[in-house]
Structure 1
Amino acid sequence: MQACEVAALILLTVVSCSRQYEELPQTTLTLEPPFPEIFTGETVTLRCGVEGGSAGWKYLWYKDSEDSPVLQTAGCSITGDSYTITAAAVSDQGQYCCRGQRGDQPLYSQLSDPVTVTVSEGYPKAVLTLKPAWAQIFTGETVTLSCEVEGGFADWRFKQYRDGREEAGCSKQYSSRYGDSCTISKARHHHSGVSWCESASGQERSNAVNLTVSNQWVILQTPSQPVFEGDTLTLRCFIRNGYKATRLIFYKDNNQLQFRAGTAQSVDRVSKSDEGSYKCRAWWRNTASRTEPWRVSAEVRVSVRELFSTPTLTVLPGASVWEGEAVTLQCGAHINKQDTQLQYRYSKDNGTVRGAGSQDQHSIPAAGLRDTGRYQCEVEAAGTGLKKRSASVSLTVRALFSRVTLTASPGATVKEGEALNLTCEAAVNKTPRPELHYTIVRDGEPVTNSTDSALYSIASTEKSHTGSYTCAVESQGVRKSSQELHIELQTSWHSAVAIGYRVSFTLIHFIVFTLLLLQYCRIQGSPCLAGGKSRKTSDQDQEQSAEGIELSSRVQHTGVELE
């Protein structure tokens, strides 16, 4: 094949691919509601459309890059041509795009232009309100927009997002403007759009309000302000030209809610499960034609903002600590509505944590082994009964000492007068080894108090050293004791001899004294051992007693045995 033929083939292939790409259906991506900015906890839906209809198409979603496909998660759901973010978080903001896919050998639509989703944390400083306080009105009615700013209204202006473009809101062509308010008289369909007020710098914005001016026969009115969990949601169904409804039916996601006379439907203490698309069907009596016509309103998307986010429990500084270290449980929840007061409760292994207050953190100054477990925090909005629980978090407290032992050398039984050494040992698990302090206790009383020496020495044991000993080791506020060790004293042989000598000498002394006394009585002819008692004068008694003592003393000092 010649070079020119190769070049022609390549060119033909390129042209063919280019034409194939140009023939791919176009894709559009829209944001509902089309707010320029949403706040944490709000719900937003992105809707993907393929030119020529949606039949047979599946949809692929991307965030920030074509290489980053978006998957369905607990907080993000994909249904048909829509991708819904419930309870938006700051991490959800970014640029989204989509494309369609169909067929076994997939045919793709073109990639849509990106749509930017901006999520701001907390709640806005300014609040935009409507009067009357409904986001849907009939053509020809009057509506006033008011911007209420904490601390004043200076340097704030109205903006509007309409037909895909951002522009100045409340222009003089159709309204009058006085400081913080803007009035639209005889509203027309082209006044529909998303409005907000912002600071002159453009750095701060109020909440956005989606105003719909309708020329239909029936409209469903919903609150213009964000609906928060715990609020009462009121829906009103109205007929054009002041007709009164003879009967109404309200629907949520095409499911009938109620059949009743009247114009309003209320939902008390709304929750995220009350989010959805609402509409109403209204009947009225036409007296001229004596008929009862009916119409269905357009669907209105109602989003329920979280009053506060699901709390997150964090263990600081880490989920594994040593005994004696400080631990803080931090329970974080974002408040999305001003003046909301939160109360906090902490649980461990499904039981209440003693001593924990109602604040957003609970401190354990010195963690112990008993603090090991799985923790959760529960947050409740005061006065609403609305509660949310965090996921559980594990805390592991590791033992600083695995055991403490007390040993004696040469043993637990020693001879009186011998030396005795008591050694306190602790198996420390932490590296580097912390500084330890030791205390020796005998019979419940300390004999040493918090020293850095593990050795207690007795140079010469005495009977008073007998007793039950324990040792305690302390470090980082952790104190552990050993088992009892009983120390006994054994009498030595020379001590036993000395004691025996003293006992024997005393006994001999007593015997000798008794014999001398008997001998003396015999010599004197006095019946000392008889049952009767000899009569003697007191002088004789004293004389004999003195002689006996003197004789006994001589025997004691001279050691002479008397015959």
Structure 2
Amino acid sequence: KLQHSWSQIFTGETITLRCEIQGGEGKVWKYEWTAPNTNSPPTSSEYRISRVSVSHSGDYRCRGSSDYLFTGWSDAFRLTVSFPSKPTVTLQPSWPQIYSGETVTVRCEIQGGEGAQWTYEWRAAKLNTPPTSNEYRIIRATESDSGGYSCRGRRDYFFLEWSDIITLTVSYKPKAKLSADNTAVPVGGSVTLTCSVSPSSSSGWKYYWYRDEKSSEALNTQDAVFHSNGQISVSQEGLYRCRGGRGNPVYYTEDITASNRPVVTLYPNWSEIHRGETITVRCEIHGGDTEWDYEWETNSMIKGPNQNEYRIRSASSSNSGNYRCKGRMKSSQHETTEWSDSVTLTVSDNVHSAASLTVSPDRVQHFTSDSVSLTCEGNFPEWRVRKFSEDGRLSDCRRMTGSTCDINTSKSDTGVYWCESGSGEFSSAVNITVQNDGNVSILVSPVHPVTEGASVSLSCSLRTQKILSNVFFYHNDKLIENDPRGELKISAVSKSDEGFYKCQYSGRESLDTSVSVLLCAPLQFHQRGNLAVCVNAAAFRCHRAATVCFSSLVFYFLLSPDSAVPVKQVSKRAQLTRTIQQRSKQRISM
């Protein structure tokens, strides 16, 4: 009789077959074996095969002999050696997105090895003591459970290879999204509400509906008409909520409430708006704007239109006041929303007079010995052009003719320039960079930030040739297009076009130049924290290129990318100069 302890054998394992002769315990036996793939079978009662392979599959028999007595051959024992497959890690439930608080089971599966007795080993993101079974359950998953998981099986000293890694991603608890085709119930009609969970790739959700904020009883078919999962129609007024649930036990999202009360928002949402700035007042009704006429109520001198938003250009103190709105259905002028809460808009008339600086030729980079003119413009009798050099020195232009500073450029003229009037008004600042190698090209780009939506052209120039062809352009060190050209034209500049640009000609690169984008032309400024704000638009931020932003008392200078040096309020110009020089080595984050 042949015996073996395992019913399933895999390549690489060690197997022992044992021949037992029942009733022959008192005799000395010699054993014979018939086996596939062997020329010298053993003569003992055990047949041991180390590192078994598929070629060892087949029928095995044995018999015993003592003196001249032979037993009959045993029944055949068929040995089947399998090649084990690579383990696979699966997640249950198999949703592409798991959320914080859900329960998930990680399982190790060995195809073809279901009947074998395996001990499992795990490599996991958050397992200090991994289990030895083929699965483990994560109850109330957290973001720290995210990571890669792999496993393998072991029998005695035989190991399978590690499975491929499966990645578990646990995200923050989601919030349901509720939308309505209308937020006022027409007489005799209904409103369709839709509940969903983002992202749309998440699956397995069932939706639960509630009416009135304190109600904990979910709506049923007597309260609403249920359409596809996540959509209902209601004909009764009220405050509706929904949430999504999935799994067993049910895991719920945060709920969301739908109300027919609009919300008034200001953009930009600053506590104080200055004269000349642009401000948008917007009425938002959940469920879409196209179905509504809008009514505004304000105690300002300016009345709002019947649209969901209106833009106040060049704001003044007459626009100050409280604003609230409500919606009226276009299809039924008797159906309206509630009035929104009021939002207060304050417009200050306290701004500074305009001052500006123009540069001719209008470009940042210049060659040595170029003639450059910097002209101050504004309604002031006295001007001076000031420079902050690369080595941190503050100086005035030595060749001033009226309101114009003339420079015959040299390397020491690289710096930041601005105009200052006799009464202390400042212009915006510009960068001037001097290239002292006449064999290297310069990038021709405007000295001032470009207004959003405007067009701009960048080109490349040598001292001996004004506009070059076969030029490659780079934006933030990335090649823009892999074909040479003469100019880089941007027809409508947006904030995404901001950054550092350079050109390459004949294998040699120009210096970097920063191109900044404004929401307006910088005509007038006032201080807003570490922002200088141009009067007829939104914020002008000090960009990481060396830029000076001014107000009447405080200005900020960027010594290097992503840092700024604040200069405290001072009363004397000499003290201001010393403060700049003393702080020229300091750095703080914007």
Q: TM-score, normalised by structure 2?
A: 0.28
Q: Which has the larger radius of gyration?
A: 1
